[in-house]
Amino acid sequence: MGGFIAKESEKFERFSDWFDNVLLTARIADNRYPVKGFIVYLENGWFVIERVRRRLEELLEEDGHLPMYYPLVATLENFSREAEHIKGFMGEVFAVGKLRTGENEAQQETPLILRPTSETIMYPMFALWISNHSDLPLKVHQSCAVYRYETKATRALYRVREIPWNEAHTAHASRGEAEEQVRKAVEIYRKVLDELGIAYLILRRPDFDKFAGAEYSIAFDAWNPDGKVNQVATVHNLGTNFSRVFGIVFEKREGGKEYAWQLCYGFGYSRVLAAVIAQHGDDLGPIFPPWVAPIQIVVVPIPYKGREAEVYEYAKRVYGLLRPGFRVRLDDREDVTPGEKYYYWERRGVPLRVEVGPRDVEKSAVVLARRDTGEKFSVPIEMLREEVAKVLEDIARSLSERSKRRLSEQIVDAPSLEEGARNVELGKICRVSWCGSEECALSLKSSLGAEVRGYRYDVDEKSDRPCIVCGSPGKTYLYVSRAY
Ligand SMILES: [Zn+2]
């Protein structure tokens, strides 16, 4: 069998069909659950999420975040305390209460709110714990699900009503310390996303699109084959907006009282999983970066008439050599042809295949076949473990490089509104010169028929062109595209 050239046309031409098909075939998720916006995570999808969760939590805890778990429900009263916050979220909250079972049942109690995010659940507790500068900084995190009554069309993993994520919340003694934590949070998220080979832009959102109750918001927008960017993580500087309404006050070192400076940041597990599938996948299905792959290596014996026993025996030996340290599967099903097995595991995203046939037995070698490039090459068995480790590393690197290339191809400079609108239509992320006025940014939204995602946070991009809207001197560049 010759190697194939990985083709990835399907996901660009018919993204929804391709994605839905991959979710089921690769055992990632099943979106046929009979409640709109709720899905079942299958073994492979949940495996990836669990790996990512552990890595993220490890990094957060190294940075001093304490793992905690807070209740799912908030009182309507607490939820309503921060004016901007409730304005931003009121349209999408789930409310719960006791099910009424009879006509004579007492008056219905005030419903509780299912957390759409946990500020209003955590901060009343912060107010109890924080009274002195020595109580700060306080950094906590939890992995949980949040609930948002999504009214637009839902899409598995991208736009769902039950969202598995990690949220971190911090309180600091000064604006400066809070700012420093913004940078640390960005670095932590960047690290996890980079390890997954996901390509993204870190953008500071325009003020009209910041998190409800925040001073400013920073977001990670990952590219998607259909041209709609996928916001996978956000970091919000809350200033003292919440500490004022929840009474989070501390005694300063030098005397006097001050409101705590707060941040919150969230990392969406399902959207990150979607980005892994959408950015790395090809016509056959997903290609999992090795460190999160449910199965990293599959060993496929290629039996030859009369020499079956020998080949199976050898395959078992190869499997035994790889088992410590790698997630490996031996596919020794006898009623399935090797070609069918290749296809089966390729469609499940296994990054590396080891083939063993009679010639390999004779040569004391194996053939390695890469899922990402289709390349095949022979490796002596005494070098097996080192070679496999090297190839897996190389697969991770090349997935990441390919994805970064794709992102840079997807970004285009639009010198005029007409050209911008045309590029949005083609699924591009448009970079446009901007004078800095909110009015111009807002008008871009309607004239380009897309979302204004913001300007670069990690790169200081100075514009030397006129603002695309008003023509006055540009300050920086705004990124505009369709979005999930
Ligand atoms: Zn302007």
Do 246 and 123 form a contact (C-beta atoms < 8 A)? Answer: yes
**The one-letter amino acid at 288:** F
Distance CA(194)–CA(202), nearest Å, equals: 12
| Distance from the Cα of residue 249 to its chain's centroid | 34
Rounded to the nearest angstrom, the distance between the alpha carbon of 245 and the centre of ligand 1 is: 36
pLDDT tens per residue across span 281-306: 999 999 999 999 999 999 999 999 89
Rounded to the nearest angstrom, the distance between the alpha carbon of 411 and the centre of ligand 1 is: 21
Report the candidate in 480, 459, 460 with the shortest Cα–Cα distance to residue 468: 480
Rounded to the nearest angstrom, the distance between the alpha carbon of 135 and the centre of ligand 1 is: 45
Rounded to the nearest angstrom, the distance between the alpha carbon of 436 and the centre of ligand 1 is: 6
**The one-letter amino acid at 450:** A
Top-tier CATH class for 297-391: alpha beta
- Span 164-168, average pLDDT: 98
Do 249 and 257 form a contact (C-beta atoms < 8 A)? Answer: yes
Report the candidate in 264, 254, 343, 268 with the shortest Cα–Cα distance to residue 300: 343
Rounded to the nearest angstrom, the distance between the alpha carbon of 452 and the centre of ligand 1 is: 14
**Sheet harboring 297-301: ordered strands across?**
328-330, 297-301, 352-356, 365-370, 376-380
Rounded to the nearest angstrom, the distance between the alpha carbon of 221 and the centre of ligand 1 is: 24
Residue 266 CB contacts under 8 Å (≥ 6 apart), including other chains:
117, 165, 166, 167, 168, 233, 234
**The one-letter amino acid at 59:** L
| Distance from the Cα of residue 454 to its chain's centroid | 19
Distance CA(152)–CA(160), nearest Å, equals: 10
Distance CA(456)–CA(215), nearest Å, equals: 17
Note the pLDDT of residue 3: 42
- Span 134-159, average pLDDT: 95
Distance CA(428)–CA(227), nearest Å, equals: 6
- Span 437-452, average pLDDT: 93
Do 466 and 474 form a contact (C-beta atoms < 8 A)? Answer: yes
Note the pLDDT of residue 410: 96
Task: Indicate the domain borders of the chain.
Answer: 10-96+110-280, 297-391, 411-483
Rounded to the nearest angstrom, the distance between the alpha carbon of 462 and the centre of ligand 1 is: 14
Distance CA(235)–CA(202), nearest Å, equals: 10
Rounded to the nearest angstrom, the distance between the alpha carbon of 2 and the centre of ligand 1 is: 56
Rounded to the nearest angstrom, the distance between the alpha carbon of 442 and the centre of ligand 1 is: 10
The rounded radius of gyration (Å) of the Cα atoms in the chain is 26
Distance CA(429)–CA(421), nearest Å, equals: 10
Note the pLDDT of residue 104: 65
Distance CA(307)–CA(387), nearest Å, equals: 27
Distance CA(129)–CA(151), nearest Å, equals: 37
pLDDT band at 2 (very low <50, low <70, confident <90, very high): very low
Rounded to the nearest angstrom, the distance between the alpha carbon of 449 and the centre of ligand 1 is: 17
Rounded to the nearest angstrom, the distance between the alpha carbon of 286 and the centre of ligand 1 is: 42
DSSP symbol at 226: T
Rounded to the nearest angstrom, the distance between the alpha carbon of 88 and the centre of ligand 1 is: 27
Four-way CATH pick for 10-96+110-280: 3.30.9.10, 3.30.930.10, 3.20.20.450, 3.30.420.40: 3.30.930.10
This prediction has a pTM of 0.96
Rounded to the nearest angstrom, the distance between the alpha carbon of 455 and the centre of ligand 1 is: 14
What residues have a C-beta under 5 A from ligand 1, the ion? 435, 437, 440, 467, 469-470
Rounded to the nearest angstrom, the distance between the alpha carbon of 22 and the centre of ligand 1 is: 43
Rounded to the nearest angstrom, the distance between the alpha carbon of 19 and the centre of ligand 1 is: 38
Residue 395 CB contacts under 8 Å (≥ 6 apart), including other chains:
287, 289, 290, 351, 352, 370, 371, 372
> In terms of residues, how long is the chain?
484
pLDDT band at 83 (very low <50, low <70, confident <90, very high): confident
Rounded to the nearest angstrom, the distance between the alpha carbon of 417 and the centre of ligand 1 is: 12
102 pLDDT above the threshold of 80: no
Rounded to the nearest angstrom, the distance between the alpha carbon of 439 and the centre of ligand 1 is: 7
1 pLDDT above the threshold of 60: no
Rounded to the nearest angstrom, the distance between the alpha carbon of 477 and the centre of ligand 1 is: 11
DSSP for 7-75, please give it.
Answer: ---HHHHSHHHHHHHHHHHTTSEETT-SSTT--EE-HHHHHHHHHHHHHHHHHHHHTTPEE----SEEE
Rounded to the nearest angstrom, the distance between the alpha carbon of 217 and the centre of ligand 1 is: 21
Rounded to the nearest angstrom, the distance between the alpha carbon of 201 and the centre of ligand 1 is: 23
DSSP for 367-402, please give it.
Answer: EEEETTT--EEEEEGGGHHHHHHHHHHHHHHHHHHH
108 pLDDT above the threshold of 70: no
Percentage of the chain exceeding pLDDT 90: 89
**First and final CA of the chain: distance in angstroms?**
41
Tokens 């909250």 sit at which residue? 93
Note the pLDDT of residue 154: 86
Top-tier CATH class for 411-483: alpha beta
Rounded to the nearest angstrom, the distance between the alpha carbon of 184 and the centre of ligand 1 is: 32
Distance CA(114)–CA(141), nearest Å, equals: 18
Rounded to the nearest angstrom, the distance between the alpha carbon of 478 and the centre of ligand 1 is: 11
4 pLDDT above the threshold of 60: no
107 pLDDT above the threshold of 70: no
Distance CA(349)–CA(226), nearest Å, equals: 21
Q: In sequence order, what are the beta bridge partners of 4?
A: none
Rounded to the nearest angstrom, the distance between the alpha carbon of 441 and the centre of ligand 1 is: 7
Rounded to the nearest angstrom, the distance between the alpha carbon of 463 and the centre of ligand 1 is: 12
- Span 385-408, average pLDDT: 97
Distance CA(51)–CA(134), nearest Å, equals: 35
Note the pLDDT of residue 84: 85
Rounded to the nearest angstrom, the distance between the alpha carbon of 416 and the centre of ligand 1 is: 13
Tokens 């699109």 sit at which residue? 209
Query: At 207, is the secondary structure helix, strand, or coil?
Result: helix
Rounded to the nearest angstrom, the distance between the alpha carbon of 229 and the centre of ligand 1 is: 24
Percentage of the chain exceeding pLDDT 70: 98
**The one-letter amino acid at 29:** A
